[in-house]
Amino acid sequence: MENRVKIILDARSVNEGFARVAAAAFAARLDPTVEELADIKTAVSEAVTNAIIHGYEGRYGRVAMEMTASGNLLTISVSDKGRGIADIKQAMCPLYTSKPHLERSGMGFTVMESFMDSLQVSSRVGEGTRVVMTKRIHG
């Protein structure tokens, strides 16, 4: 049976921790290992942080996190209605950052890809970005 939840967060860095805990609590019913849970929390942290920092650049906005559990498959979508990404391929390159002055490492998408089973990024300049991550829980 499928289970779904949607959470809307103000795009403020203080809400990143809440998003991590919410994702962990939602995934808990799938009985993940400690390592799987840590992977999920890390990937969510990166996705939400990217939406806040790059999507809104200090302006007011909201971040939506949708989670679905179906069987042992967890799907997490993080989206914003911020500035969008002009070149997704470039943005996904390891070490690329559009904010070097903020000492960003440019590893957000790489981290998401390495901790989750799949990562899809869609974006439109001026309309926002959506990141969809999946992870099969082996428990």
Q: Which of 16, 36, 46, 83 is catalytic?
A: 46
Based on the residue annotation, tell me whether 46 is a catalytic residue of this protein. Answer: yes
Q: Which of 15, 16, 36, 50 is catalytic?
A: 50
Q: Which of 104, 113, 124, 136 is catalytic?
A: 104
Note every long-range contact of 3-6, with CB atoms under 8 Å and residues 24 or more positions apart, other chains counting. Answer: 3/29, 3/68, 3/69, 3/70, 4/66, 4/67, 4/68, 4/69, 5/66, 5/67, 6/64, 6/65, 6/66, 6/67
Based on the residue annotation, tell me whether 3 is a catalytic residue of this protein. Answer: no
Based on the residue annotation, tell me whether 12 is a catalytic residue of this protein. Answer: no
Point out the residues that are catalytic.
46, 50, 104
